[in-house]
Amino acid sequence: MDNLVLKALRERRSIRRFKAEQIRNEELTAVLEAGTWAPTGKGLQDPWIVAVQNPELMHRISEMNRKVWGTDTDPFYGAPTYVLVFCSRPEKWPNGICDGSLVLGNMMLAAHAIGLGSCWINREREMFDTPEGKAMMQEMGLPEGLMGVGALALGYPASFPPSVKPRKENYYRIIR
């Protein structure tokens, strides 16, 4: 079987080189909207999505991530937009990370579907557990009691990965 959604699922790749040009507002909104349509446990819509295009804030986020990772390079690959996803801490809602991950997945697929590139950027959990991270969540206007799930580097792709790994054998099985 095949259709446009199945094709997009197969062809989305993590993009790690971006054009400097900012994406259009309607493109950003389309990606964020797609995130809001992800399924969530009990339909609670627990995750919180924050898109950042402010260079000063982006620099601070990138630096925080870089420090957790222990690298010299920008973990967001110079993308012009970051999208961060937060969820309730597990004591309050045990499905938060699952919910937030689906939001990120929806947004990556939507980005690809409209010609944007994205890559999941990790380490938000650790970043936003620090005093600096907690202060930043406040600055972003988020409520208390959240944690970082993950983030996206988002923008127009400057290059595509040349190849894709084949799917592992026995990835799935059907038991009838």
Ligand X SMILES: Cc1cc2nc3c(=O)[nH]c(=O)nc-3n(C[C@H](O)[C@H](O)[C@H](O)COP(=O)(O)O)c2cc1C
Contact code string over 135-174 relative to ligand X, x by CB under 6 A: --------------------------x-------------
- Confirm if 119 and 75 have CB atoms less than 8 A apart: no
Residue type, 118: S
User: Of 5, 3, 2, whose CA–CA distance to 113 is shortest?
Assistant: 5
**Residue of the chain from 52, 119, 137, 152 that contacts ligand X (CB under 6 A):** 119
Asked if 51 is part of the footprint of ligand X (rule: CB under 6 A), the reply reads: no
User: Of 80, 58, 60, whose CA–CA distance to 156 is shortest?
Assistant: 80
Nearer to ligand X, 7 or 24 (CB): 7
Least Cβ distance, residue 12 to ligand X (angstroms): 7
Contact code string over 15-44 relative to ligand X, x by CB under 6 A: -x----------------------------
C-alpha span between 115 and 117 (Å, rounded): 7
Map residue 6 onto helix, strand or coil: helix
Stretch that binds ligand X, among 11-19, 30-38, 110-118, 167-175 (CB under 6 A): 11-19
C-alpha span between 91 and 114 (Å, rounded): 37
**Residue of the chain from 19, 109, 114, 120 that contacts ligand X (CB under 6 A):** 120
Least Cβ distance, residue 173 to ligand X (angstroms): 22
Least Cβ distance, residue 13 to ligand X (angstroms): 4
For the chain, the straight-line distance linking the first and the last C-alpha, in angstroms and rounded, comes to: 20
Residue type, 166: P
Asked if 13 is part of the footprint of ligand X (rule: CB under 6 A), the reply reads: yes
- Confirm if 41 and 99 have CB atoms less than 8 A apart: yes
Asked if 112 is part of the footprint of ligand X (rule: CB under 6 A), the reply reads: no
Q: Which residues bind ligand X (CB under 6 A)?
A: 13-14, 16, 119-122, 161
